[in-house]
Amino acid sequence: MTTESCEHAVGLQDVVKSYTRSDGDVHALAGITVAFEPGVATAITGTSGSGKSTLLFIVGGLDRPTSGEVSVKGQCLNTLSDDALADLRRDHLGFVFQNYHLMPTLSVCENVMLPLAPALGIGLAARGRALHCIERVGLEHRINHLPGELSGGEQQRVALARALANEPSIILADEPTGNLDSASADVILSLLLELAENDGRTVLLTSHSESVAKRCGRRIRIEHGALVDDDYPKDA
């Protein structure tokens, strides 16, 4: 990878991801070169199966590309061991998924404290940090509730608070509004936009909703694993 492409918050160079299946090879990503910068929320759009989640997982180091190179915060992921990749995820990346992925037997506060446990334990420091993140998503009145006692929109706000716990500079959200009614989707999207535009974080979110994509500073579209459209910036 060139020095220049390592300078972006996130950089991909000719990234291919293929899966071998009984009915032949699937190229989930067919050679993608793109970079993402701080302060912008980018919507990754495309029909189901176009490769959106694969792209996000590879950027997040949850999956490795078949070929090509990925850099996050100047570090080329290809050269990192699994342990180093886990460290990078913890220090720089926050993940949000469509189905929230909260622990059902833990309270809101405990869920948000979970990613803090390795560094801060479960004492007052962790609790204070968790409360700060919970306030950020406006759920301070729900800290002792269980996820099952919350609406879908509230659960996704908890998931976002948990993603913020380690103060990541990059947020990756896979269909974060996919299960939500339009009012709850609006709240989540507004929070994600604020994290990019006010805090200067790099936010990537996948969505097949045009109305979600339209509000983002940048939109890219993927078809059959290839980048076919890149509207950037929205108001240029």
Ligand X SMILES: Nc1ncnc2c1ncn2[C@@H]1O[C@H](COP(=O)(O)OP(=O)(O)O)[C@@H](O)[C@H]1O
Using CB under 6 A as the criterion, which residues of the chain lie in contact with ligand X when the complex forms? 19, 21, 26, 28, 46, 48-54
Q: Tell whether residue 53 is a contact of Mg ion (CB under 5 A).
A: yes
For ligand X, the closer of residues 66 and 75 by Cβ is 66
Query: Between residues 51 and 94, which has the closer beta carbon with respect to ligand X?
Result: 51
Q: With CB under 5 A, what is the number of residues at the site for Mg ion?
A: 2
Quick one: 27 or 132, whose CB is closer to ligand X?
A: 27
Residue 16: name its binding partner from ligand X, Mg ion, none (Cβ under 5 to 8 Å by kind).
none
Of 5 and 53, CB closest to Mg ion: 53
Assess contact for 26 and 17: CB atoms under 8 A: no
d(CA 96, CA 83): 21
- In whole angstroms, the minimum distance from the beta carbon of 98 to ligand X comes to 10
The stretch near Mg ion (CB under 5 A) out of 27-35, 45-53, 116-124, 212-220 is 45-53
Minimal CA–CA distance to 165: which of 193, 188, 202, 134? Answer: 134
Q: How far is the CB of 16 from ligand X (least distance, A)?
A: 12
- Which residues pair with residue 67 across a beta bridge? 16
